[in-house]
Amino acid sequence: MTLAELRDELWETTGEQDALLPVNDTDGKLNRWINRAYKRIMFWRFADGTQIRFPCTEGVLFFQTKIVTGLITAGTASIVTLDVSAGANEDQYNGWVIDIGGVRRLIVDYDAGRNATLHEDLGAAPTIGTAYTMYKQFMRLSESTDVGASENIVCSPVNSIMAIRKITNIKRFWDLTPQERTDTFARNFLSPAFPQQYGRRGNDIMFDWPSLEAEWYRMEYVRNPPDLTADDQLFETPAYFDQGILLGAIWSVLVWQQDNDEAYARKRDLQEFMITAKQQGEMEYERESGQAEVEL
């Protein structure tokens, strides 16, 4: 069923009100309610804690840790100027480690003139022409137009990555361990090593050690599909669940109409629909993960 077809059915099922006639729905209430129901079905969680996992929510991407090398062109003990091998964007290398002749410092500020402010003096101004190496402890989820996107993980839109399931070092054939929420990696921010753990902080993927090698990683993640906006778009969930999306959208309409009794009834209908889907074999359970995977 297309977005337009489900929207028309929603309008007809909820009393064909003029205010909700698709041509009169200038602020897109119907589409908004449908997309809300779509996401509710896509990430449905049963009362026992089991959550559906549709194949369309599974994503994979590859990224490479980044190393930047060059020569010092000017500077003092606390601010050094990098050569043209470095980018020239404000704050592009904030949070990176710079190694100048074996002395490591954290870059706490960077400007468009390629001047890097260090967290601690070097003790003396570096000699012009001294080699430097820059590396970092994080990879940022970035749009292709973001500053330093080529040195991070490009994904569009950034909020399409709902959760990370696994990160694997391809070269070394090992899976990194997810970081516990109470862990901190701050103690390792200058010393390079091979990362063993990762954690997500907003749009940053943090590692327990900064990597001094440009290595490739494979990331499996839970994808947040975009809202449907075009009339001819199809839902990514199997067609069986179109009825569930309709029930969820009707529930939202009734809440909007402040018809609480009917809204509760449609909520129960949706819950029963999902339980029936499970009982009829539309889903099979993965004992190891406690998730239900939809069969296509």
pLDDT per position as a tens digit, 171-198: 999 999 998 776 666 656 788 889 999 9
pLDDT of amino acid 48: 87
Q: Span 158-174, mean pLDDT?
A: 93
Name the residue among 222, 242, 227 with its Cα closest to residue 282.
242
CA distances (Å), origin 51, targets 103, 286, 291:
49, 10, 5
pLDDT of amino acid 284: 53
Q: Span 210-215, mean pLDDT?
A: 90
pLDDT of amino acid 62: 96
Q: What is the largest distance, in Å, between two alpha-carbon atoms of the chain?
A: 79
Type of residue numbered 93: Y
Tens digits of per-residue pLDDT, 215-263?
Answer: 999 999 999 889 999 999 999 999 999 999 999 999 999 999 899 999 9
Residue 288 pLDDT class (50, 70, 90 cuts): very low
pLDDT of amino acid 191: 82
pLDDT of 289 above 60: no
pLDDT of amino acid 187: 57
Distance between CA atoms of residues 200 and 32, nearest Å: 29
Q: Span 41-53, mean pLDDT?
A: 88
pTM of the model: 0.82
Helix (H, G, I), strand (E, B) or coil at 286: strand
pLDDT of amino acid 291: 58
pLDDT of 294 above 80: no
Name the residue among 168, 165, 169, 275 with its Cα closest to residue 220.
165
Q: Residue ranges per domain, the chain?
A: 3-54+237-294, 59-64+139-223, 68-135
pLDDT of amino acid 188: 60
pLDDT of amino acid 185: 66
The CATH number fitting domain 68-135, selected from 1.25.10, 2.120.10, 3.40.710, 2.40.10: 2.40.10
pLDDT of amino acid 287: 37
pLDDT of 116 above 80: yes
pLDDT of amino acid 296: 40
Tens digits of per-residue pLDDT, 55-110?
Answer: 889 999 999 999 999 999 999 999 999 999 999 999 999 999 999 999 999 999 99
Name the residue among 50, 51, 103, 55 with its Cα closest to residue 80.
103
pLDDT of amino acid 184: 67
Percentage, residues of the chain above pLDDT 70: 90
Residue 109 CB-density burial (10 A; 0-12 exposed, 13-18 middle, 19+ buried): middle
Query: Token digits for 76?
Result: 């003092």
Residue 285 pLDDT class (50, 70, 90 cuts): very low
181 vs 201 pLDDT, higher one: 201
